Amino acid sequence: MPKQPVPPRLSLRGITKQYPGCIANDDVHLSIAPAEIHALLGENGAGKSTLMKVIYGLVKPDRGELLWDGLPLEVKDPAHARKMGIGMVFQHFSLFDTLTVTENIALALGDDAGELGPLAEKIRTVSEKYGMAINPEREIHTLSVGERQRVEIVRCLVQDIRLLILDEPTSVLTPQEVEVLFVTLRQLASEGCSILFISHKLNEVKALCHKATVLRGGRVSGACIPSEQDTTSMAKMMVGDDTPVSTTYPKVLGDKPVLEITQLDQPSHDPFGVHLKNLDLTVNAGEIVGIAGVAGNGQEELLASLSGEALSKAGTVFFNTSSAGKTDVALLPPDQRRALGLGFVPEERLGRGAVPEMSLTENALLTGFLTGLVKQGMVGWQKTEAFADKIIKDYKVKTAGRHAQADSLSGGNLQKFIIGREILQDPKILIAAHPTWGVDIGAATAIHKALITLRDQGAAILVVSEDIDELFLISDRIGAICDGELSPIKPTPQSSIEELGRMMAGDFSPQVQPATEGTHA
Amino acid sequence: MDIDLISNILYAMVRTGTPLLIVALGELICEKSGVLNLGQEGMMLMGAVVGFVVALLSGSLLLGFMLAIVAGMLMSIIFAVITMELSANQVATGLALTIFGTGLSAFVGADFVGKPIDGLDPIFIPVLTDLPIIGRMLFGQDLIVYLSFVLFGGVYWFIKYSRPGLILKAVGENPHSANAIGLPVLKTRYLAIIFGGAMAGLAGSYLSLAYTPLWAENMSAGRGWIALALVVFASWKAERVLLGAWLFGLASILHLVFQGLGFSVSPNLLAILPYLATVVVLVILSSNQSRSRLVAPMSLGKPFYAKS
């Protein structure tokens, strides 16, 4: 090769974007060479999303410039970005449920889509070439989450793609699906396409990426070659030096069953819902049980029948808390279950965990009303405010104060508030969905510690999460849910990521020992 | 029942169903974009009064129809600005638009109540009009009825086969995704709302210039509301809107049918049939949650805030 340096496919120079009250990007420099897989690392709120929206033309930077193959480029809108060969795979898929795969892709291609027939043929060919076969005639709502992601990726691949941006692509995949995705991405890169891989999962970045740029608080806090780093040093770049980034917790096994589900069989009324099939589950006092699973496999339905939002057949759900002994709660509404000692952290923060337009004080009252905040039908506002203040203080919620509206908080801070609200009520049973989803490492550690402390005080805790690392970190026993069925729950030390991955994909058979004899025939 | 009677019933059915069909096609497009405009009734009344007054003063029916369409569009633009730019609640804004249109049309038309006008004449098509049974129904109507056939064909094709139709459905289903892949959400919704307004204006003027050529206060008599129900009844499909509009038309003229057959049923009792049918259909549709969730545009009635 001649020594003439190839200009980077994309380089960003001094990108700055300010929103009222915060600087999302502050003088960000970044460059990606052709065929390079480049990681953009950072916690939530570090400015990753804003930066990629700038590249994709969804947001105009206040300052700074973007060079494309060495030439200045102003990306006007996503259509313009696509035309230049920039494709993007969104974290929350930008797909339309009632349209077919082909129609979805045609929409994004704009006027270049042409006739649907030939396009469908092209989708078939391209998807097979990259090992992600999809049927172009299917409607999106019939596809699994992993398949939907394939549609998003194929949507970028059917055009002439030169830079592919993926926003936290692995958060919705099983470990096995992640492997398949990485094979595809490596193949793409080897063909000369640059890839910008946005993530906060350090192991994946180490396994896949050639280079990494780390953002913290909107600024570039470091750049490195991931294969030469260990995850701790990269984590330090992400969170700063003063936050502890890794820790382990002792595993224990509980004794007294506190939450019991027996033969819970529940058809779903929702056409997009999942039928729960004969679930059996016991959570003991003083232990954390973790349920893994890819989104949309029955987690929502399971959580609803535990929280009381959905009622079940009598004799399928039992609470065994000190106050009332073993009680059949299958037909009890949420408030009566809470009265028996239930705490619940729903998946959706705004809308179910908290009312967006209400203040933190009012949101504290929403589930705390049984703890003496309401007397004879009258709200004790002073006590409620004190309770809200305590949550804010104990859980280091960053907010303007207890009068702030719930939707003014960042996702992570609101999550800390909701977790704090539930834990401070001293529940006997705590059910938490995705307790640290979208929460930065520092806050996640704080939430994990709070859960462990609660466990050690004797509460029975059920955690449903898509983050396998988190489940292995805090669960004492672990299992997976797939298509409404629950795998056997095993003590965490006896399980493995590989086994859990198979369970998430629906293979519940006991671990097959590698055959060491009799195979040589 | 003799053939003449059947032929006449079918003729009247289509004629009565036409204003419903036109306004429902407009609302269909509007709802497909995710916007629920409850102002149909008000926009129809404005179309009816503007069409009548203009036609009476100028002597030109054509000018009447055209300005009625413009009046409907202007009304819908009010709605569009309030709901799109100011992100007001669509239901409340639509209701306000109906109340506003009802009052304003009564005010504008106060001096014109009961004045006579020569309505639109039917256009007979040689040979075809004389076909047995369906001849008058399909080929013995006036221009606007023929136009409604064309409009139906156009809307059907637009939603099912055209690229802008695909964009329309995408915007109605998930405006945030549409925005993320670069589709013009607000522009699409504006155009859909304005099309809905134009159709309501045209339907209104059909009432005052062709169906019953005169102006009377509140003469749309709830047709705007029936059209809203009709779109749900049709589960947001153009071909079922056509079928539904004609069925509702038939229900409205049933008293003629019964008279023809020699039964005597109170016309007042029969007059409630279309409304009763609406309620029954809505109950049946909403009884099956899963079905109604799959057919309705998913973001119907939800405002969209563009973030930058």
* pLDDT tens per residue, range B225-235: 989 888 988 88
Q: Give the tens place of pLDDT for each residue, B209-260.
A: 999 899 999 998 889 998 988 898 888 899 999 998 998 888 888 877 777 7
A515 occurs within a structural domain:
no
What is the model's pLDDT at position A520?
42
CATH at residue A278 = 3.40.50.300
Query: Closest by alpha carbon to A343, among A474, A463, A255?
Result: A463
Q: Are residues A111 and A225 in the same domain?
A: yes
Q: Are residues A369 and A308 in the same domain?
A: no
Residues 6+ apart with CB under 8 A from A146: A172, A173, A174, A177, A294
| Least confident range of A284-293, A386-395, B264-273 | B264-273
- Residue range B283-308: mean pLDDT, rounded: 71
What is the model's pLDDT at position A518?
40
- Higher per-residue pLDDT: B215 or B276: B215
A159 occurs within a structural domain:
yes
Closest CB from B178, B290, B308 relative to A270: B290
Query: Closest by alpha carbon to B206, among B23, B79, B25?
Result: B23
Give the number of A-B residue pairs with CB atoms closer than 8 Å. 63
**Is B163 in contact with A106 (Cβ distance < 8 A)?**
yes
**Is A79 in contact with B294 (Cβ distance < 8 A)?**
no
- Higher per-residue pLDDT: B293 or A226: A226
Q: Give the tens place of pLDDT for each residue, B108-156.
A: 999 999 888 888 888 888 888 888 788 888 888 889 999 999 999 999 9
**Are the beta carbons of A149 and A94 closer than 8 angstroms?**
no
Domain that holds residue A120: 10-239
**Are the beta carbons of A245 and A251 closer than 8 angstroms?**
no
Q: Are residues A206 and A263 in the same domain?
A: no
Interface of A with B (CB under 8 A): 57-60, 77-79, 82, 90, 93-99, 103, 106-108, 110-111, 113, 269-272
Percent over 70 (pLDDT), chain B: 96
- Residue range B77-93: mean pLDDT, rounded: 92
- ipTM for the predicted complex comes to 0.74
Q: Give the tens place of pLDDT for each residue, A202-218.
A: 888 888 999 999 988 88
Most confident of A250-259, B23-32, B251-260: B23-32
Q: What is the DSSP string of A26-60?
A: EEEEEEE-TT-EEEEE--TTSSHHHHHHHHTTSS-
Q: Are residues A69 and A188 in the same domain?
A: yes
A470 occurs within a structural domain:
yes
| Least confident range of A32-36, A112-116, A381-385, B67-71 | A112-116
**Is A108 in contact with B174 (Cβ distance < 8 A)?**
no
Q: Per-residue pLDDT for A1 more than 70?
A: no
Q: Are residues A175 and A231 in the same domain?
A: yes
Instruction: Give the CB-side neighbour count of residue A521, counting CA atoms within 13 A.
Output: 2
**Are the beta carbons of A406 and A399 closer than 8 angstroms?**
no
What is the model's pLDDT at position A202?
80
Query: Closest by alpha carbon to A294, among A172, A181, A182?
Result: A172
Residues 6+ apart with CB under 8 A from B81: none
Mean pLDDT of chain A: 85
Tell me how close the Cα of A491 comes to any Cα of chain B, in angstroms: 39
A44 occurs within a structural domain:
yes
What is the model's pLDDT at position A512?
54
Residues 6+ apart with CB under 8 A from B249: B12, B13, B14, B15, B16, B17, B18, B20
**Is B177 in contact with A98 (Cβ distance < 8 A)?**
no
A244 occurs within a structural domain:
no
Domains held by chain A: number: 3
Q: Are residues A171 and A198 in the same domain?
A: yes
Query: Closest by alpha carbon to A71, among A8, A5, A15?
Result: A8
Tell me how close the Cα of A317 comes to any Cα of chain B, in angstroms: 26
Interface of B with A (CB under 8 A): 163, 166-167, 169-170, 173-174, 176-178, 180-183, 289-291, 293-294, 298, 308
Q: Give the tens place of pLDDT for each residue, A188-207.
A: 999 999 999 988 778 888 88
**Is B180 in contact with A94 (Cβ distance < 8 A)?**
yes
Q: Are residues A329 and A371 in the same domain?
A: no
What is the model's pLDDT at position A213?
92
- Residue range A463-490: mean pLDDT, rounded: 90
Q: Are residues A212 and A336 in the same domain?
A: no
Reading the block at residue B68, the tokens are 């009625």
Percent over 90 (pLDDT), chain A: 34
Closest CB from B166, B182, B294 relative to A103: B166
A397 occurs within a structural domain:
yes
Q: Could you give all domains of chain B from N- to C-terminal order, each with its CATH number?
A: 11-295 (1.10.3470)
Q: What is the DSSP string of B51-79?
A: HHHHHHHHS-HHHHHHHHHHHHHHHHHHH
- Residue range B65-90: mean pLDDT, rounded: 94
Q: Give the tens place of pLDDT for each residue, A262-304.
A: 999 988 876 667 889 999 999 999 999 999 988 778 888 999 9
Most confident of A228-242, A496-510, B218-232: B218-232
What is the model's pLDDT at position B5?
81
**Is A270 in contact with B289 (Cβ distance < 8 A)?**
yes
Within 8 A of B169 by CB-CB distance, chain A residues are: 96, 98-99
Q: Are residues A162 and A229 in the same domain?
A: yes
Within 8 A of A78 by CB-CB distance, chain B residues are: 180-182
Q: Are residues A48 and A112 in the same domain?
A: yes
Closest CB from B180, B289, B308 relative to A90: B180
Within 8 A of A110 by CB-CB distance, chain B residues are: 182
Within 8 A of B183 by CB-CB distance, chain A residues are: 107
Q: Per-residue pLDDT for A331 more than 80?
A: yes
Tell me how close the Cα of A349 comes to any Cα of chain B, in angstroms: 19
- In a 3-state reduction of DSSP, which class is residue A14? strand
A519 occurs within a structural domain:
no
Query: Closest by alpha carbon to A355, among A367, A341, A370?
Result: A367
- The residue of chain B with its CA nearest to that of A112 is B163
Task: Quickly state the pLDDT bin for A514 (edges 50, 70, 90).
Answer: very low
Q: What is the DSSP string of B167-197?
A: HHHHHHH-HHHHHHTT--HHHHHHHHHHHHH
Within 8 A of A59 by CB-CB distance, chain B residues are: 308
**Are the beta carbons of A244 and A422 closer than 8 angstroms?**
no
Most confident of A55-69, A107-121, B50-64: B50-64
A5 occurs within a structural domain:
no
End position of a domain, from candidates A212, A239, A266: A239
Q: Per-residue pLDDT for A517 more than 50?
A: no
- The residue of chain A with its CA nearest to that of B168 is A107
- The residue of chain B with its CA nearest to that of A80 is B182
Task: Quickly state the pLDDT bin for A516 (edges 50, 70, 90).
Answer: very low
CB atoms within 10 A of CB B3: 9
Q: Are residues A227 and A255 in the same domain?
A: no
Q: Are residues A312 and A329 in the same domain?
A: yes
